[in-house]
Structure 1
């Protein structure tokens, strides 16, 4: 068991999120969930901001604006709350299947590290990073009539057409395509200034017309942090009733070396892409399930996204290592039959296809559940049903805009804009996985499968935020030192007069921290080098160094079961 340092306060937001999710989930009362701030990280982390500083969240979120900056919401705490609910629910499933599991432990720091998994993998891979334009930058555009908009497309032709309608030559628009697409991986979007100026010279109506005619999705970025809708984190729809003899019994736990993991012996089939869906499958695999990944012939194109580690994209393996792969062309009858055959012997089928695709393929819940009534069928979408049956592209940044998170993550006085760290992709994958666990827990009682619907927007709504954007003082931002930044702890922020006499920009971060500690004030160095996490003694039991299998560092599994 790891040694846990005493911290100043209980992670109340994380606990509240865990309790909320567990109220929607059947799990044995004997299973406890335990949450703290630091977990296995050997640092005194007294609050959310200290975790954001120490683990690298401030660094990744701040890349686009030129320096480390906190997220103005308790993001790491919410991630940890979902992890705690997952651990308790999975342990309850394990108990129902014959395993002696009574407690699941996790921490806010482990939540932060899991959220940074792709960025950590890229920072520690051997292969070169993908080429990118230098400097920070957001993708958010301003118009001549004072609107701020976020656009999205995965089609370079649509991108060129959008800018052509705003009078931008194709060669210039093309210069913006690479940083625009890479922002999902790099957390920066240094668009050519000519594109920003072209948008600034047109009205919101002009941009909306250009988006409509080119097939680009566009949403207006509002300044209200409150979500316009409050969807449930997930929705469960039980499979149609069957007689007891028609419903296969859930699989018992296997007596194997890894049988201490609660989902050992369960099988998950996933057909997913990008982050949200693969992360859901990744969580279920870490909890012990066998995961079979359906990919197109030749493999998922994301496998070759730089940087490579061991011949495969580090970002891809951060989400998909350990999954078995079956290739199938879903545009053919044979490929669709492959999915039907796999799901007929599976416990879970998971996908994050575009709306309507499952029905067109004949692979919707109504198509698969008759052959496997105990199947849990999960769809992870972008917007669920909050924007009708023809929503915009269901990607992270548009979900941040629609949910109000794009306003909530930045303080009053700054223009609202999504974080270019993929906040809702990560949280959406975790919420989807918890919905699957809730369905599996229900199946232990009824023997029946069900459909699970979750979305990026339903995940974003989990993040508490004030009615109005937060107003920051200078002490809410990292303080510069001679070699980096330091984030003052809660006691130090409460005594600004003491800080003024103790901090010195000519001192290093370590020297400033020691000076504050001598006066009973804590402060956390702001992590600016993710690669160093793999070699930091304080993270030795939280972060695995690069190994032969993946070629990059990764967070250890974020639960301890007892």
Structure 2
């Protein structure tokens, strides 16, 4: 595999996250080094967080609700690069224990950003891609007494009942459901203004009562980021018995020969399986008879949803109906030959089915059993539905991603779901590392809520100037590097006239002045076609046969 030399210092946030996660896992990376860069294989002068978010599409996706690119006010790409580096280090330790002498791993903030954007890249580049809905006013809502709140339901009937109880008209209710339902895939949610007006005219107590009566989750948005807890985002519980498996030496990738059985839906669990597959594991995805319903929503890449393929391609598929004895027996048969079982089932489902950790450990002694939940065991967490946006609201992440002067609001980029998958996969790697050394399997529990702690954040939101936001040009936007600001000097004149000149011309003039800047991606189709990203992306098929844009594995090992 290709190994390139770092061209800029490691992102500080990535280093901090990597060291903290390895400490929490109890993994001393003896003999393994990690190299984290800003640009990685992307051929752009990326030297800071803002440049990575701009070039790799995060500002574009996060800003869809506003109709223009908007930065996330946190070191999201660098922090996720730190999580990926931790994946790589622990995977290399597993490989070393199995006889493959890996000594180093490399990843980058740009690869982290592209991984976060993977489902949107796939959808926007599909042959039958549909236009993304325009900007509009999504949740959160504001009550008559000034409380900002998010709502969540996955079904149309509770949605209709909730708004009917608050007094909304049938047309607004009907027109609001499609954008609300599709916001996970489109990162925009233009709701009818009447729904916001209805919320503004009702006290929060009445909103809560309507939520309780209808089955809609109502979650107050925290006004401050709060500090991410120092506790680890997983709980590990050793399981009885030991594994007697002898591990064969992998040829190239660290997890070759490791079998993972995955029963998961949406993003969190499937992304965890996807990451393990990219590290070399053989992932068997168990779906209901007829297939996961999320295989079919457009846009399609070939005969399957592009979003689904973005995190599920390359997995083997088996079907089983867990409501039947035969289906449960089929799952046990698969687990009997596996090293890992991974699910993101609702609370209590595993116990009700007789498929909890102790049950499956009897089938496969030494099993690593990974449960990826929503709220987890945190005090006050209940069985109510836990999805991305309500978790962002409750955790303080919705405030942390916004600068001072802006009201807190979750990003419609599914950040909590993505963090949940990243953290779950790292928990599996930590448990596999323990099992290979000791023969003892374990249960590892993580949640969307605990995963938000993987992003370090300040309790005080940053204060932005105009230079912290994309600069408008005649034909787009550009982002000036933060490291350029102390030497801005004569470049001020270039910036003042930027709206009258093309992005390419302004970038050239800034480069001549020694001021690094990058164009802001505002079209994921153009990003996929840009030769500077060709080493980070893989494009298969064509317009006739089902075009698919995938993010390549974000690690290099040697």
TM-score normalised over the length of structure 1 = 0.95
What is the CA distance between 1:533 and its match in structure 2?
A: 2.1
Q: Which residue of 2 aligns with 1:216?
A: 216
Distance 1:127 1:159 in 2: 29
1:146-203 per-position Cα deviation (integer Å, ceiling 9, x unaligned) = 1110000101101001001001233431211110011100001100111111111101
Q: Which residue of 1 aligns with 2:147?
A: 147
Whether 2:252 is the aligned partner of 1:251: answer no
Alpha carbons 1:431, 1:454 under 8 Å: kept: yes
CA 104–547 in structure 1, closer or farther in 2 if over 3 Å, else same: farther
Q: How many residues are treated as equivalent by the alignment?
A: 552
Q: Which residue of 2 aligns with 1:85?
A: 86
Distance 2:129 2:337 in 1: 41
CA 387–354 in structure 1, closer or farther in 2 if over 3 Å, else same: farther
Q: Which residue of 2 aligns with 1:238?
A: 238
SS of residue matched to 1:64? coil
CA 389–482 in structure 1, closer or farther in 2 if over 3 Å, else same: closer
Distance 2:270 2:475 in 1: 37
Alignment of 1:143-542 (within 5 A): 143-227=143-227, 230-240=230-240, 242=241, 247-254=243-250, 259-388=251-380, 390-495=382-487, 498-503=490-495, 504=497, 505-542=499-536
Q: Which residue of 2 aligns with 1:60?
A: 61
SS of residue matched to 2:237? strand
SS of residue matched to 1:35? strand
What is the CA distance between 1:338 and its match in structure 2?
A: 1.2
CA 223–496 in structure 1, closer or farther in 2 if over 3 Å, else same: farther
Q: Which residue of 2 aligns with 1:36?
A: 37
From 527, 551, 557, give the equivalent of 1:555.
551
SS of residue matched to 2:151? strand
Distance 2:132 2:484 in 1: 39
1:115-154 per-position Cα deviation (integer Å, ceiling 9, x unaligned) = 110010011111232x775333322111111111000010
SS of residue matched to 1:65? coil
1:215-270 per-position Cα deviation (integer Å, ceiling 9, x unaligned) = 11111012110147554221111112x3xxx632253235xxxx201111110001
Alpha carbons 2:320, 2:328 under 8 Å: kept: yes
Detail structure 1 runs of 4+ shifted over 6 Å in the superposition.
none
Distance 2:448 2:554 in 1: 22
What is the CA distance between 1:551 and its match in structure 2?
A: 2.7
1:317-364 per-position Cα deviation (integer Å, ceiling 9, x unaligned) = 000001111111111121111111111111000000111111111111
Distance 1:226 1:555 in 2: 33
What is the CA distance between 1:102 and its match in structure 2?
A: 1.1
Alpha carbons 2:288, 2:319 under 8 Å: kept: yes
1:66-89 per-position Cα deviation (integer Å, ceiling 9, x unaligned) = 211110001111111111011111
CA 86–435 in structure 1, closer or farther in 2 if over 3 Å, else same: same
Distance 1:214 1:497 in 2: 59
Return 5+ residue gaps in structure 1 as ranges: none
1:38-64 per-position Cα deviation (integer Å, ceiling 9, x unaligned) = 111111111111100110111111111
Distance 1:491 1:447 in 2: 49
Return 5+ residue gaps in structure 2 as ranges: none
Distance 1:415 1:267 in 2: 45
SS of residue matched to 1:410? coil
Distance 2:215 2:534 in 1: 48
Distance 1:228 1:291 in 2: 32
What is the CA distance between 1:25 and its match in structure 2?
A: 4.0
What is the CA distance between 1:15 and its match in structure 2?
A: 1.1
What is the CA distance between 1:390 and its match in structure 2?
A: 2.2
Alpha carbons 1:306, 1:314 under 8 Å: kept: yes
Alpha carbons 2:37, 2:107 under 8 Å: kept: yes
CA 389–538 in structure 1, closer or farther in 2 if over 3 Å, else same: closer
CA 27–285 in structure 1, closer or farther in 2 if over 3 Å, else same: farther
Alpha carbons 1:4, 1:42 under 8 Å: kept: no
Distance 1:414 1:445 in 2: 49
What is the CA distance between 1:498 and its match in structure 2?
A: 3.5
Distance 2:457 2:258 in 1: 37
Alpha carbons 2:469, 2:479 under 8 Å: kept: yes
What is the CA distance between 1:409 and its match in structure 2?
A: 0.3
Alignment of 1:119-130 (within 5 A): 119-129=120-130
Alpha carbons 1:61, 1:68 under 8 Å: kept: yes
What is the CA distance between 1:4 and its match in structure 2?
A: 4.6
SS of residue matched to 1:163? helix
Distance 1:380 1:19 in 2: 23
CA 91–547 in structure 1, closer or farther in 2 if over 3 Å, else same: farther
TM-score normalised over the length of structure 2 = 0.96
SS of residue matched to 2:107? strand
CA 352–250 in structure 1, closer or farther in 2 if over 3 Å, else same: farther
1:256-310 per-position Cα deviation (integer Å, ceiling 9, x unaligned) = xxx2011111100010000000000000000111111111111111101210010
What is the CA distance between 1:473 and its match in structure 2?
A: 0.9
Alpha carbons 1:119, 1:185 under 8 Å: kept: yes
CA 34–299 in structure 1, closer or farther in 2 if over 3 Å, else same: same
What is the CA distance between 1:2 and its match in structure 2?
A: 4.7
Deviates more, 1:327-336 or 1:152-161: 327-336
Distance 1:492 1:89 in 2: 36
